[in-house]
Copies of this chain bind each other. A is one copy, B any other.
Amino acid sequence: MNTKLDDFLNQAHQLDSADGLAPFRDEFVIADDALLYLDGNSLGRMPKATRQMFGDVLDHQWADRLIRSWGENWYDAPTRIGDKIAPIIGAQPGEVIVGDSTTVNLFKLVTAALSLRPGQTKIISDVLNFPTDLYTIQGVIDLLGQDHELILLPADDGIAISMEAYKAALDDDVALVTFSTPTFKSGYLHEIEAITRLAHDAGSLVLWDFSHGVGSVPIDVTNWGIDFAVGCTYKYLNGGPGSPAFLYVREQHRKEANARPWGWWGHESPFAFDLDYRAAESARQFLVGTPPVLSMLAVEPAVDLVLRAGVDAIREKAMAMGEFFVEMFDAVLAEVGFTLGSPRDPHRRGSHISLRHPEGYRICRVLIEEEQVIPDFREPDNIRLGFAPLYTRYVDCVEAVERLHRVVADRRYEAYDTHRTDIT
């Protein structure tokens, strides 16, 4: 090991020993203990409880109880699991539902927001937003065929936006302000509360996409006055590949907001099979069609784990681990050409860190193919390293730095093609 890392390794052992969340690693199936999995920010590991639950879901609920399981367990799952996610984002019971993809939920909430601000034509976002959020807005504008306009705030360093630029863009023609936070590449955590307050002062509504942080950063939609939120359940919430997203609508908006698409699961009385749509009074109005039950049920034991660990403890460890990693970056990685693609301030950063390097893509290939390290790559030069606190150890971070350093110091990436072939 690089001798500069010796002290870090000693520290890491001490930090792991003192880590109150360390026992949670045993709650996950770790199929290959030698693998340094640093992509929990993209796909969380599988909880043992989820694995165990699937026996019951398949053999009892589906195969044995069959259609009766709708009444016994499935029909209420979107709100039951939503109510479990609620405290993780500071929402009230009855304000969160689970179902559909993040993108479809964004579509619902963009249409809902515009329905509440007729005549206001601007939507503010930023170039750091996850593209699907922007595509959703562009699609709504395209569909409405009206004079709506999407304004994207710049991020000169690729890391963060400026609050000055945001304030300058706000005026009383803004219907909606929407950002993803933390951002998917740089991990930048917006000033959520201030942004929300300023938007409200200007007469706009606010929609936050918490996909890249929920379960590992503090969120308080109630006290921060947030109108709408969505988030992904398969990253830090560990709900399984493509598990359905959640959606939050502040209770006061529920009566007036008009989210589209309409569908029978959002109807006040779906089993009356009326010919005319009538939105449910509850948050079920934001459901559309039959949700993907197997994928949805997988979210529940995973969320239970996060609730048991507590978001505050998770956040504390994530920040400490991030700081520890940045110290190693300064000591070892900067000298071989990496730059930090994330904010230095831990309060402005989520639980993943982006390292930028001109050879980022090929470095990733070596790490995956030869070094048993799984980061992910984001164009043009970002290597993302996710520090999911429930199963990542400090020693893993040291080991990852060691391998990152040697791959670059030895120029091992030169053996790889620059042509992009991976999908993650």
A residues sitting closer than 8 Å to B (CB atoms) are 29-32, 35, 37, 39, 42-43, 45-46, 50-51, 54, 58-64, 66-71, 74-75, 100-104, 106-107, 111, 127, 130-132, 134-136, 138-140, 142-145, 152, 234, 240-245, 258, 260-267, 270-277, 288-296, 298, 368, 374, 376, 378-379, 420, 422-424
Contacts and interface: CB of A to CB of B under 8 A. Distances in A.
A71 B422 contact: yes
A244 to B, nearest CB: 6
Contact of A374 (B67, B140, B244, B294): B67
Contact of A39 (B66, B101, B143, B244): B66
B262 A135 contact: yes
Given A135-B262, A142-B262, A144-B144, A241 B293 contact: yes
A67 B144 CA distance: 37
Given A136-B261, A261-B103, A261-B136, A70 B277 contact: no
Contacts of A111: 143
A269 to B, nearest CB: 10
Given A46-B63, A139-B262, A261-B103, A294 B70 contact: no
Nearest 7 A-B pairs (CB), nearest first?
Answer: A101-B289, A103-B289, A139-B262, A292-B295, A241-B293, A31-B64, A103-B263
Contact of A69 (B74, B101, B104, B241): B241
Contacts of A424: 67-68, 70-71
A101 B100 contact: yes
13 contacts: A32-B64, A43-B62, A51-B58, A61-B241, A70-B423, A100-B289, A101-B263, A135-B262, A138-B262, A138-B276, A140-B260, A143-B143, A273-B379
